[in-house]
Amino acid sequence: MGKPFSYGGQAVIEGVMMRGSRTMAVALRHPQGTIVVKKEPLNEALYRGPLSRIPFLRGLVMLWDALGLGTKALMMSADVAAGDEVALPASVTWGTALLGIGLGVALFMLLPSFLVGLVAPYIPSEWLNSLLEGVVRLLLIVGYIWAVGFLPDIRRVFAYHGAEHKTVNAYEAGAPLTVDGVRPFSTAHTRCGTAFLLTLIVLTILIFAPFGRPSLVWRLLSRIVLLPVIAGVAYEFIRLTARLANRPWMRVLIAPNLLLQQLTTRAPDDGMLEVAVAALQAVLADEGDRETGGQGDKETRGQGDKETGGQGDEETRGQGDKGTGRQGDKETGRRGAGGNGHKVRSEGLELMEDVLAAMRQRVSVRNYGDHVVEPAVLEQLLAAARTADHLTGVPPRIALVSGVEQTRHVLTYIVGVYGLVQNPPHLLVGTLPQESDAARLDLGYVLEQVVLEATRAGLGTCWVSGSFDAQRAGDVVGLAPGEVAAAVCALGYPDQERWGRFHSRTVRRLAGGHRRKPLTEIVFSEHWGARWSPEGADPALVAVLEHARLAPSAVNRQPWRFIVRPGQIALALTRPAPIDGGIVMAHVTLASAALGRAGRWERIGDGALAQEYGLPPGVTPVAVFQPKT
């Protein structure tokens, strides 16, 4: 029987890459919540051929190949995180990757050598000189990892890193490759790249000390020329530590490697574990090492919930005609207006299924083309606003502002949103009859219904509830006494030029629009904090919650939490964000109606819900959704 193959991988943007001997698989969490799995064949000669048995040389070859695989995986993850927008040219992405590698070598290899070389004449010992260089190099690397760990996106990458380690540890222990099976395992692993980095630093100290004190030029050149050699030695050492990890003396030796991984891993959530398991199972499907249920097969990659529209593989999600900027498919992209909790009217047909598609396809569009929206379509949207379902006795008013000069006038604020939302030909301005949380809740509820109608009409939209000039907006639309302009929504056809798409994608990532919390983080069972799982739950309920999860929110904070009980869904907010609350309430209402579970919101603003559902301090109860009887 052959020696077991050592599977491994790395974390990428919202996903995990796993590498086998025949296949590389990248499992990614799409912004819509589904898991996308992409696979590529590998050069088997590198992993099972003669090269894999030549010490030191195999490390150099495989590390170079791993570098290429990692770059490909990052490119794939960036494309999926951007939705269906056109990716940057390969030359740009590869160029960026090579630039990053060059900067890494300069910062962590050459800079420490340069700095220590400046004071080398004052250091009495070659060993002390080499040790000081290693310490500086270690401090730079650790400091860099520690600092970037505060960035939200990097923290999620580190959590996916933890998920990758848990999954590989579970596989090597013979545990079931399920979320429950891998959850108990450690986020540290002996073959981790972080351990490789620390080993590399220690080896530079040992290898460069006998060189004495060369000139500064030769000092820098030696660090570059010998880097592959040191990497090959480090690779063999990591293999040795993994093989002897159970020996007491080896556990002491590798303790610093495992300790450093606390900086580069975080505890993953169940959604991340699901992604890591999907990646490894896709690899194993081609390796024949374990029964995987065919999850790596291209025809079964749609690992999201079936009730959410089969969103699995990136190429088959029905994300729309490119000419409409992901706003709807060719059959439904321009079907007109309508779309509330009662009926959706378009050419006399009831099209509730279009509302579900609109929820899945809607993205925040921040760059608009020159083409103005047809007057008939604008009138349909305003009519939808007037007839939309609402929560309070006096509904909010939705007014229209047209013309780029006027929209710029409204969007230009002290810190400015103009530039982040560029050239919208129209704005929908939401006004409150009077200022109150209940009125803001209703505004989010009504205006999101109109946003989804605009999506069905092939239009792009973008909510703006904070960074706009409310006084200017009020002056343009005209306010009655006591009326307040509380939010605006950009409206128009998306800019299809490459720069426009790149601008929208970049701003969306900065705003966090590519991230969505999994249902297991935002849904509780019976009471606050009680774990809820979609497994075994009512499929229609899961589908409703999945479509609610896709609702937009300010800076994508997703402040809503749901507590499900038989026949009801309670809504609470973790921060004061009534407009966001109204938006997600609209998604629940519309999705429930579309799935044959029509209902209504009750007990709006009832403070007794906090005690009834065990809400902690700072969490605000909003309402309870109950199906109509």
Residue 508 pairs in a beta bridge with none
pLDDT of residue 287: 73
Q: Which long-range contacts (CB under 8 A, 24 or more apart) does 504-511 make?
A: 504/85, 504/364, 504/365, 504/366, 504/367, 505/82, 505/85, 507/366, 507/420, 508/82, 508/363, 508/364, 508/366, 509/81, 509/82, 509/153, 511/364, 511/555, 511/556
Q: How far is C-alpha 76 from the geometric centre of its chain's CA atoms? A: 13
pLDDT of residue 601: 96
Within 10 A of 67 (CB to CB), how many other CB atoms are there? 12
**Max avg pLDDT among 136-145, 278-287, 502-511, 606-615:** 606-615
Within 10 A of 599 (CB to CB), how many other CB atoms are there? 20
Amino acid at 133: E
Do 519-627 and 323-510 have the same topology in CATH? yes
Tell me: domain 519-627, CATH 3.40.50.11810, correct?
Answer: no
Question: Domain ranges in the chain?
Answer: 8-41+56-73+95-296, 323-510, 519-627
DSSP for residue 85:
S
Residue 372 DSSP SS3 = coil
pLDDT of residue 79: 67
pLDDT of residue 83: 54
pLDDT of residue 81: 63
Q: Is the dihedral of CA 273, 310, 561, 514 positive or negative?
A: positive
Count H helices and E strands in the chain, helices first. Answer: 22, 15
Query: Is the pLDDT confidence value at 332 over 50?
Result: no
Model confidence band, residue 103 (pLDDT cutoffs 50, 70, 90): confident
pLDDT of residue 253: 80
Query: Is the pLDDT confidence value at 277 over 90?
Result: yes
> For the whole model, what pTM was predicted?
0.50
pLDDT of residue 297: 35
337-356: string of b/e by CB count within 10 Å (b at 16+)? bbbbbeebbbeeeebbebbb
pLDDT of residue 385: 95
Q: pLDDT digits over 530-564, tens only?
A: 999 988 888 899 999 999 999 998 877 899 999 99
pLDDT of residue 419: 41
**d(C-alpha 580, C-alpha 617), whole Å:** 19
Q: pLDDT digits over 470-521, tens only?
A: 888 999 999 999 999 999 999 999 886 544 444 445 544 444 444 678 899 9
**d(C-alpha 26, C-alpha 11), whole Å:** 9
pLDDT of residue 95: 65
Contact (CB, 8 A) for 42 and 21 = yes
Q: pLDDT digits over 385-431, tens only?
A: 999 999 999 999 999 999 888 888 888 643 334 346 878 899 999 99
Token pair recorded at residue 576:
């004061």
Query: Is the pLDDT confidence value at 343 over 80?
Result: no
Q: How far is CA 178 from CA 223, 275, 559, in A?
A: 44, 10, 29
Q: Which helix (H) or strand (E) holds 108?
A: none
Mean pLDDT of 524-528: 95
Residue with tokens 């997703």: 558
Return all residues near 246 (Cβ < 8 A) that are at least 6 apart. none
Which has the minimum average pLDDT: 82-96, 246-260, 459-473, 507-521?
82-96
Model confidence band, residue 152 (pLDDT cutoffs 50, 70, 90): confident
Mean pLDDT of 235-245: 78
Residue 293 vs residue 100, higher pLDDT: 100
End-to-end CA distance of the chain: 64
The class of domain 323-510 in CATH terms is alpha beta
Query: Is the pLDDT confidence value at 610 over 90?
Result: yes
Residue with tokens 């740009």: 92
Percent of the chain with pLDDT over 90: 31
Q: pLDDT digits over 435-463, tens only?
A: 999 999 999 999 999 999 999 999 999 99
